[in-house]
Structure formats: structure tokens, C-alpha cells
Amino acid sequence: MRVLIVGGTEFISFHLVRALLRAGHEVAVLNRGRHPERVPAGVRTVVCDRKEHGALGRTLATERVDALVDITYAPTTGQDVDALLDVLDGRVGHALFVSSGRVYDHALPIPFDEATPRNLYWGDYARDKIAGEEAFFRRHRERGLPVTIVRPTHVYGPLNTRNNETFFFDRLVRGRPILLPGPGGWLRQFGHVEDLADSMATMLGDRRAFGQAYNVTGEEIVSQAGFVELIADVIKRPLALVPCPPGGPPVPFGQNLVYDCHAVYTTTKVRAELGIRPRYTLASGLAQSFEWYLREGLDRREIDFSAEDALLRRVT
């Protein structure tokens, strides 16, 4: 298949490029060209800012693809998604949109399945993702474009642009304590980036996925405290957790893992309908991510812990 990926050079989209090449597809990426060194040989780059709709129209005027994967969040509004679909109208076989589990109303009881009502619990991000999903669904309803929506949550793995698992690696390899926000009991779910990329590569062109949305993430549910305990176990470092009482100053705990609700999603639909299931357990995925972290020498990077030290002095 000929596949065009919007993005391609950072994290999820970079891993998708690799998964598609492994599966023997022809791949082109559309981005602003800030990381040409990340584009593998044989992959064509279309340099364009997706927010500039006029330029997008000119750049993609003759493009024809079997599959389009809209991944990057630029931040991407519904109008940006519409502009992309307009430009490629009639020249795409199957269009896949990377949304987020954060479209669901997180005030509702867990777990969230694909029929859970969507709302603006997560603010502008949810608004943009819901609008992007709707732009895709509208093309499907009104023009018969085959579309699929993917809703991941807390993606982790090599090259992660969110400082989540690496935040804890950084502290544990240096023998530092980990501050815990409150009791650390909010539930979280993580998905390995290679599993997500492989899932999307598998879905492309699959008629069963047309017109559907799928939660795509790992199978294990873990509390905030349990996540750190698992990381310490996996990387074989002693752990000192320092609980911080609620109501104090913000507690640093990964890049986006501090929030006061559960985040738990069912993956029954993608398993039952498409037979897609993750290859990594959370432990094996974290072990693989830690190997990458060490290989990159990230355990030797300079980090300023002074603010965290001040907080530690307050709470111990």
C-alpha cells in the first residue's frame, strides 16, 4: 500500500513509519521538515505546515494514496482536519485519525468503552480531538470515505516525547526518592508505542475497521504508586516513595500523570472485531524502554533537581 502519514519524525508517527516499512508498504511523511535525519531511506518527505491550508492544497494537489494517517497534533483543530480531507478528496483509500482516550467524559464511572459519551472534560484538547473525529465521521457518512478512529492513552516507549517513564528512570538510577501526589491511587493505563504502531498498520485497508473507533492501549491497569513500584522492580533499583499530602504545592510526577480521576479503557472491541492485542506487557515494555534509555546515555543527562529538593525538605 501507498501510505501518507501526517507527522512521521517524532514518536508515535515515527514508530508507525517503521512498522509500515517492516510490513513492506511505500511510505511518505508530511511535516515541516525539522528532523530530516529521522526519515529512513526510501521514505519521501512532503514538507508543509498542515496549519497553512493554502500551501497544503498546493503541496498535495496531485497526491493519491491508498491510506492516510493523520497523527500529528499541531494543535490540530477540526478545520485543520477538514482542510486536509478536502485537499485529498477522492484520492484516499482509507483514512485513519489518531484521536485520544481523552475524548471521553472522565466524570463517568470507569471503564470507558467506545460508546462512552464524549465531552470537554479535557478542555481544548478534547474539543480539537472530537472535532477531528467528527470531520472524519462526516466524510464517512456523507461521502462514503472509509475512516477509522484510534484512541490511545499514555503511550510510552523509545523516543517518548512525554517525560513519563523516563521521569522515574531519571530518579531511580540516581537513587533519588519519588514524591507521590497524595495516596497515588488514581488508576492509569499505558500502551507501548510499537503495539500502537503495529495495530494501526494492521488496521489499514481492513474493511471491518471502516466507520469505527477503537480504544488502543495496553491491557494492564495500574495505580500511580503501582506504576512507580513496577518500574523500580523492572529496572532493579530500590524505591523510596515519599507521599505528599493533598492541598500542598504541585508534586512533580511524570509529565502528565498527575490528575484527579481514573483513566481506564476497555480494549474489548479492537480484540473482538479485529483480533488485535498488544505484544508487550507493561513490565516487558518498560524493560525494553529502559534498555533504550541506557543505550542513549540518558542516565547521564544533566537534570536540575533543586525545586524537587526544596519540596522534599518541606514534606520530610
Ligand X SMILES: NC(=O)c1ccc[n+]([C@@H]2O[C@H](COP(=O)([O-])OP(=O)(O)OC[C@H]3O[C@@H](n4cnc5c(N)ncnc54)[C@H](OP(=O)(O)O)[C@@H]3O)[C@@H](O)[C@H]2O)c1
Strands (E), 125-281: 147-151, 155-156, 178-181, 187-189, 191-192, 212-215, 221-223, 241-244
13 binds ligand X (CB under 6 A): yes
Sign for the pseudo-dihedral over CA of 222, 316, 239, 231: positive
32 binds ligand X (CB under 6 A): yes
The one-letter code for the residue type at 195 is D
Q: Which is nearer to ligand X, 119 or 237 (CB)?
A: 119
Q: How far is the CB of 309 from ligand X (least distance, A)?
A: 28
b (16+ CB within 10 A) / e for 84-121: bbebbeeebbbbbbbbbbbbbebeeebbbebebebeeb
226 binds ligand X (CB under 6 A): no
Strand partners for 187:
223
Q: Which is nearer to ligand X, 7 or 182 (CB)?
A: 7
35 binds ligand X (CB under 6 A): yes
Residues 107-136, interacting with ligand X (CB under 6 A):
none
Among 60, 65, 72, 265, binds ligand X (CB under 6 A): 72
98 binds ligand X (CB under 6 A): yes
Separation CA 105–CA 191 (nearest Å): 20
48 grid coordinates: 508543509
153 binds ligand X (CB under 6 A): yes
Q: How far is the CB of 60 from ligand X (least distance, A)?
A: 12
How far is C-alpha 211 from the chain's CA centre? 21
Residues 277-316, interacting with ligand X (CB under 6 A):
none
Q: How far is the CB of 279 from ligand X (least distance, A)?
A: 18
Q: Which long-range contacts (CB under 8 A, 24 or more apart) does 74-78 make?
A: 74/49, 74/50, 75/124, 75/125, 75/128, 76/50, 76/128, 76/132, 77/128, 77/131, 77/132, 78/128, 78/131, 78/132, 78/134, 78/135
Among 81, 155, 232, 244, binds ligand X (CB under 6 A): 155
267 binds ligand X (CB under 6 A): no
Among 40, 55, 117, 161, binds ligand X (CB under 6 A): 161
Among 4, 9, 69, 85, binds ligand X (CB under 6 A): 9
b (16+ CB within 10 A) / e for 199-212: bbbbbbbeeebbbb
162 binds ligand X (CB under 6 A): yes
Residues 38-67, interacting with ligand X (CB under 6 A):
49-51
154 binds ligand X (CB under 6 A): yes
Q: Which is nearer to ligand X, 92 or 103 (CB)?
A: 103
Task: Point out which span in 5-13, 114-122, 221-229, 230-238 binds ligand X (CB under 6 A).
Answer: 5-13
Q: Which residues bind ligand X (CB under 6 A)?
A: 7-14, 31-35, 49-51, 71-74, 98, 100, 152-155, 161-162
